Each structure stands twice: as C-alpha cells, then as structure tokens.
Amino acid sequence: MKLLLILSLCLASICLGAQNLPIPRNLEKAYTAGTRSLDGQPGTAYWQNHATYDIAIRFDPSSRLISGKEEIVYTNNSPDTLREILFKLYPNLYKQGSQRLMSIAPEDTGDGMRIESVTANNQVLMAAKWRIRGTDMSVQTKVAPGQQLRLKLQFNFNLNKGSHIRTGEVEEGAWFLAYFFPRIAVYDDIDGWNRLPYLGTQEFYNDFCDFKLALTVPRNYAVWATGDLTNCAEVYNKSFCDRLARAETQDGIVNIIDTTDLKDGGITRPNAENTFRFEASHVTDVAAAISNHYVWQSSSVEVDTVSKRRTRVDAVFNPKHHDYWLVCADARATVKAMSYDFPRWPYPYNHETVFDGLDQMEYPMMVNDNPLEDRHESIELTDHEIFHTMFPFYMGINETKYGWMDEGWATIGEWLI
C-alpha cells in the first residue's frame, strides 16, 4: 500500500509538472495565433500554402543532361506578406563546394543546377533578384496574403553517373530521377520558410501540390513517374496500352513489357523522341524513372469495397535480378494489406511503381529499391517503402525534423504486413 501511495504521488507530480514544461517560442506563437492546438488538432486558423506545377523536362541519355522549364502558380494562404520565395535546388548537393554530409566522387561534382531565367508575374527578374546558397535559392518578389504568384523558371543540370544519393544513373540505360526541378520550400506557421539545407542525409518536407510532368526521352526509352500517364497511345504502341488497361482491371499479373518484347523492339512509338505526360493531384513530390531494357509487370487490387476503386501495382526491373520477379506480387499484397488489415485505410493513389534502382527510398506512387537476394529482406524492403505512402506522404510529416516518426511507423507496418 505504501508503495502504491508513493507511485501515485510520483505520477501526480509528473502530471502536474507537465503542465509547466517550457514551450518553444515558435510553437507558443502558433498556439496563440490559433493555427495549432494543444490537443494536436489543427487550430481554427490553420493554413497551408499550395502550388501547381507544370514541368517540362528533356533528358539526354548520352550526356545525362536534364534541361527543363516549369510554370508555378503559388497561393499564399498565410496571413503574412511574403517578400521572398525560397526554392529548394536539391541537385546542388552535387555542386562543387556545396556543404554535404555524404561522400561524393570528384567526377560527380560540377555546377549543380544552372538557373537560366526566373519570371514572376510575367516580369523577368534580373539575376540580382535571385541568390543561390547551397541547395537554397531566394527569389526577391512579393505576394500578399490570399494572393497568387505566377512563376516561370528555366534550368538545367547534369544528372550524376555515380555517387548515387537517391537519384542518378542506375546502370547503362536506366536512371532514377528525384528532386530534378526547382521547388518552392514550405512556408508554415511554425518556422516560416524551411531554411534547413539539404546535406544528403536527412529527408524532406514539402507542401501538398498538384503536378503536371512532361518528360521527353529518345525513342525506345520507357518512362514511369508519379501520377497517371495521360497519353499512353502517343508514346506506346497499341498492344502495350491494351495490356496496361487490362492490368488495371484484374487481380492477376500482366506482363506489360517482357523479355521477348525487349528483344523484338517496337514498344514505344517510332518517333525520334517521345514525351510522356503524367498528372498527380495533392501529392508532396514527383519522381520518375527511365529505361530502355527493363521488363514491366503489373497487377491491380480493389482497395475500397464501397467505391470499388482499384490501385495498379507495378514492378519495373532488370530481368537478371531474380528477386524482382516476385516484387509485383509482394507489392500488391502490401497495398491490399494496408487497405484491409493495417492501418485498414483504402490506398489513396491510382498506382504504385517499384523500380529496380540503387536505393531504398520512397516517393509518392514510386519506390526506388535495390535488388536483394534474400527473400525475407526483399519482402521487408518492398513493404517498408510502400508503407511510407501513409507516413510521411499522406500525413504530410516534416521528415527533415521528425524522421523518426515516419521511419517508426513504416517499420511497424513492415513487421505487421
């Protein structure tokens, strides 16, 4: 009894003491402003900024040159007048002299992302109006609360061949493209602009945005990306579009591109270049993958018994990697388990593509996974990276500051599934 009394007093002391814990000033300011609440719910004055991106990229496999342009409509939902727009230029991780916590081979360092022009509300900004420091670029302009800013940028950079940090050449004829466009940093009610530099180790914090991506590649190269492919008939020959449509309606695995197709050719339209167009709404990022010699397996699963909505699940890989022949089925089982078992939440995206790469990294609707010979490790890796769809992408977690949250949840999901 005496021990119980002591424990009760200790717990009461802890609870009372918790009421007086110091609160960081930025959080206290958010509570006072009503954007956040002590119970963890969004406050009555909560807001998020938003952008729509229309991105056009041309990729040259021989030089690995990515040249692009983008049009952005940025909506300032905050109560603040913004006198700068902060961009993240993630390819500058490979820029000579940039600060980083990852090892990069000398042959992969270079000029980083080269900004050719910046236009704000149809006014061309002089170079003095935009300043680049590491992976951040500050553009001096103005957007009032509730107003929109229209931006246009032209840019280019050379994709890294080695020193693969989430992006770059996988092998001859295959590439994974991540963080390949200038994107506006998050401006939120806690920290204002997210000024934490990208050093190669930490992960990411992005606004929910709408994207259109047009990726132009030479003939015989296929492209996979975040979002729905909107012009299949313009880039693939008819039989491949028919296979893809069939995969979206059935449980069984369909070989969209098999080894015979690779040998015979005639997969993409016979143009010198083909432009693959994708669209995605309310996602935090866009990634893409390119190859001229990968096979493509696909299936789908009903993720919502009420709406009968289905999610297509793809595995895109070098046929020499034997473990990948089972990845499509494993990915499909993961999407099904997430929808009906844990967290028992209808999978939110129309497709999920697992690409045979050199990493273990997640993106909205895309996974970049290295091959693994061990069967258990392959299953765990597939489960883990797909589970990140919920944490951080659907939940919008700030991975840069709180990476333990999404990694913890993804590990729990991996174990349970």
Strands 310-317 and 351-356: parallel
pLDDT at 19: 60
pLDDT at 161: 96
DSSP-derived secondary structure for 150-168: EEEEEEEEEPPSSS-SSSE
pLDDT at 4: 45
The pTM for the full model equals 0.93
The number of residues in the chain equals 417
Strand order in the sheet with 183-184: 130-133, 136-143, 82-88, 183-184
Average pLDDT for runs of 10 along the chain of length 417: 48 52 88 91 95 98 97 98 98 95 93 97 95 96 98 98 96 97 97 94 95 98 98 98 98 98 96 98 97 98 97 98 97 98 95 97 97 96 96 92 92 91
Strands 136-143 and 82-88: antiparallel
pLDDT at 20: 74
Place of tokens 């008939």: 233
Tokens coding 266:
């005639």
Chain centroid offset of residue 223 CA: 16
**CB neighbours of residue 37 within 10 Å:** 13
- What ranges do the domains of the chain cover? 74-166+184-202, 236-270+293-417
Largest CA distance in the chain: 85
Instruction: Please confirm whether the linkage preceding 343 is cis (ω < 30° from 0).
Output: yes
Residue 238's alpha-carbon distances to 193, 232, 234, 293, in angstroms, are 47, 8, 9, 19
Burial of residue 320 (number of CB atoms within 10 Å: 0-12, 13-18, 19+):
exposed
pLDDT at 22: 87
The residues near 248 (Cβ < 8 Å, ≥ 6 apart) are: 298, 300, 310, 312
Judged by DSSP in three states, 193 sits in strand
Locate the DSSP E strands across 206-293: 209-218, 222-225, 228-229, 254-257, 273-283, 287-291
pLDDT at 26: 87
pLDDT at 16: 47
Judged by DSSP in three states, 284 sits in coil
